[in-house]
Amino acid sequence: MDDLRDLYQEVILDHGKNPRNFRHPEDANRHAEGDNPLCGDRLTVYLKMGHNGLVEDVAFEGRGCAISMASASMMTEIVAGKTEQEARALFRRFHDFVTGREEIGEADNDDLEKLIVLAGVKQFPMRVKCATLAWHTMTAAMDGQDAVTTE
Amino acid sequence: MSAVLAELRTGNAPFDVERVRADFPILSRQVHGRPLVYLDSAASAQKPRQVIEAESRVYESEYANVHRGVHYLSQVATEKFEATRTRIAAFINAPDENEVVFTRGASEAINLVAFSYVAHFLKEGDEILISELEHHSNIVPWQLAAQRCGAVIRAIPICDDGQIDMAAYAELLGPRTRLVAITGQSNALGIVPPLERIIPMAHDAGARVLVDGCQAITHRPVDVQAMGCDFFVFSGHKIYGPTGVGALWGRAELLEAMPPWQGGGEMIARVGIEKSTYKGIPHRFEAGTPAIAQVIALKDALDYVDALGLDAIADHEAMLLDHALRRLSEMDGVTIVGTNPAKASIVSFLLDGIHPHDIGTIVDREGVAVRVGHHCAQPVMARYDIAATVRASFGLYNTLAEVDALIASLEKTREIFA
């Protein structure tokens, strides 16, 4: 049960039920669809990229489990206002956290600190893809790809 | 033979699920510190000791390649291998054991028909009818074959309750319909289509019928002659047998007209550098060394199921399904997907506000194994505009207490999401 409470913390349940930035911005200039064929979950990440690689707006739509919705929701809150490079770097660190490559105690900035609530997925290897789907999709949108799949 | 099987054969015992469970070693293990509650038999069934022992017995004392050697072991292995073919023919009441072709599973069996029958005999504009209920394995092979021959695939819609829309089916059947490929039981919803009406209607329209029997064969007696279909496929692993083996049954006159689909050893009569001639059926369709030990042990699985009796198994599973449907309907916020009463051993459902994947993870920590997702039946999910369901599927070893454990684990899921 402890593992489950770690996975389904209040913050995650809240973001999962009331995802932030769950919308389609009309002025988005990049988007990509993310697909998890294993579960049929699908989401679209929209980006409004400004000059100098600044993420001026980031939002998403779609459906998925509490983990994928919460991760997408938190991602939009954290990434807005960052540069593309900062966002990519953050995903790399986050990815290392949820796959257990980096220890949780090493979170050394506020953004990673917020994402630590998602680190519980590393006890549930089948669910790591849920936690990273939105991030992979955002990266694909930045790369100019239309679609990405977790398989 | 175990004591329970011996007793059942003499008709002296009721269906004693606890004694059946004792035949399945894996059911005594724990998962996450809890007793395993295995409710995923529709994906793959667990194996009784009789099957496990049969497979190792082959390797320990009966193993050699089949249909090749003159030496003793090769003859033993060949006889045992062919005995499974005879056993399958009896199990599905096929008129001739040579109509039974071994494949890697039902998917390969369908692919065989797609390439050797559909791609070969159908022409541009001919129609293949499938249904919205189908598993991807009974969709994608037809698409691949249709691309080759120019045939068109049409889907029979299902009604809100998950049953085949028979009026729409009647409309779709036409002079261009050449094949109807339909499941004997939906793996995603458990719905049992009325094959006794579907098959004669197809024949009246001049079409052949393939039945995907993967689920159906584990839950009720199959008689291909009474059913009247032209092809029937199933997988061994879903009927408590080994993985890597399945079978195609087809009418001899159809199989004999079909060209080989894979070339290799075992399927040939005579090979030259530029041209070869092929064996007759069924060997013409069995290129290469087959899954010998698995084929042989499949006979033990069929023997096991037959000794318990499919009617008795069906009654037991119906009791489990009734109990599950009743307990689920007593919970708030549960939606059953596929409510038609013609249903067996499978219940697919949703819990308000909680995604199936989250449910699957949480109940797993209670030791309860269910399938969550689209169940390789995305058209079914699309029909209901959902991405996934939770599916509990029952086998001959499940108990009422396990249904209750599922319900308790769902209540725990509710608490976490409260």
Q: Per-residue pLDDT averaged across B168-174, rounded?
A: 98
Residues B270 and B325 in one domain: no
Which residue of chain A comes nearest to B371, CA vs CA?
A39
Radius of gyration of chain B (CA): 22
Q: Tell me whether residues B361 and A4 touch, CB distance under 8 A.
A: yes
Q: Is the predicted pLDDT of residue B205 greater than 50, yes or no?
A: yes
CATH code: domain of residue B63: 3.40.640.10
Q: Per-residue pLDDT averaged across B14-24, rounded?
A: 94
3-class state of residue A40 by DSSP = coil
Q: Tell me whether residues A3 and B372 touch, CB distance under 8 A.
A: no
Quick check: B229 and B250 in contact, CB under 8 A? no
A54 falls within a domain: yes
Q: Which amino acid type is present at position B226?
A: A
* Residue B3, pLDDT score: 53
CATH code: domain of residue A28: 3.90.1010.10
Q: Is the predicted pLDDT of residue B57 greater than 90, yes or no?
A: yes
- CB proximity A65 to B under 8 Å: yes
* Residue A21, pLDDT score: 97
Residues B302 and B313 in one domain: no
The count of structural domains within chain A is 1
Structure ipTM over 0.95, yes or no: no
Residues B242 and B197 in one domain: yes
3-state SS string for chain B: CCHHHHHHHCCCCCCCHHHHHCCCHHHHCEECCEECEECECCCCCCCCHHHHHHHHHHHHHHCCCCCCCCCHHHHHHHHHHHHHHHHHHHHCCCCCHHHEEEECCHHHHHHHHHHHHHHHHCCCCCEEEEECCCCHHHCHHHHHHHHHHCCEEEEECECCCCCECHHHHHHHCCCCEEEEEEECCCCCCCECCCHHHHHHHHHHCCCEEEEECCCHHHCCCCCHHHHCCCEEEEEHHHHCCCCCCEEEEECHHHHHHCCCCCCCCCCEEEECCCCEEECCCCHHHCCCCCCHHHHHHHHHHHHHHHHHCHHHHHHHHHHHHHHHHHHHHHCCCEEEECCCCCECCEEEEEECCECHHHHHHHHHCCCEECEEECCCCHHHHHHCCCCCEEEEECCCCCCHHHHHHHHHHHHHHHHHHC
Examine the fold and report which residue of B267, B291, B306 is the final residue of a domain before the chain moves on: B306
Q: Per-residue pLDDT averaged across B266-276, rounded?
A: 89
Band of residue A149 on the pLDDT scale cut at 50, 70, 90: confident
Q: Within 10 A of A27 (CB to CB), how many other CB atoms are there?
A: 8
Residues B258 and B350 in one domain: no
Residues of A in contact with B350 (CB under 8 A): none
Band of residue B153 on the pLDDT scale cut at 50, 70, 90: very high
Residues B145 and B279 in one domain: yes
A68 falls within a domain: yes
Q: Give which of B355, B359, B374 to mutate to test A binding, by max A Cβ within 10 Å.
A: B355
Band of residue A1 on the pLDDT scale cut at 50, 70, 90: low
Q: Per-residue pLDDT averaged across B250-271, rounded?
A: 93
Residues B174 and B266 in one domain: yes
**CA of A17, closest CA in chain B: separation in Å?**
8
Residues B100 and B165 in one domain: yes
A73 falls within a domain: yes
In chain B, the percentage of residues whose pLDDT exceeds 90 is 92
In chain A, the percentage of residues whose pLDDT exceeds 90 is 61
**CA of B33, closest CA in chain A: separation in Å?**
11
Residues of B in contact with A41 (CB under 8 A): 357, 387-388
pLDDT tens for B78-88 read 999 999 999 99
- Domain hosting A96: range is 2-141
* Residue B12, pLDDT score: 47
The closest CB to that of B416, out of A4, A38, A42, belongs to A4
- Domain hosting B252: range is 53-306
pLDDT tens for B352-385 read 999 999 999 999 999 999 999 999 999 999 999 9
CATH code: domain of residue B324: 3.90.1150.10
**CA of A67, closest CA in chain B: separation in Å?**
8
Band of residue A31 on the pLDDT scale cut at 50, 70, 90: very high
Q: List the catalytic residues of B.
A: 376
- Return the number of CB contacts < 8 Å for A and B: 53
By a Cβ cutoff of 8 Å, what residues of chain B touch chain A? 353-358, 361-362, 365, 372-374, 378, 381, 387-388, 416-417
* Residue A104, pLDDT score: 67
**What does the block give as tokens for B411?**
């209540």
- CB proximity A126 to B under 8 Å: yes
Quick check: B224 and B243 in contact, CB under 8 A? no
What is d(CA B99, CA B94) in angstroms, rounded to the nearest whole number? 7
* Residue B2, pLDDT score: 56
pLDDT tens for A70-127 read 999 999 999 999 999 999 999 999 999 898 888 766 667 888 888 988 988 988 888 9
The count of structural domains within chain B is 2
Residues B112 and B69 in one domain: yes
Residues B119 and B108 in one domain: yes
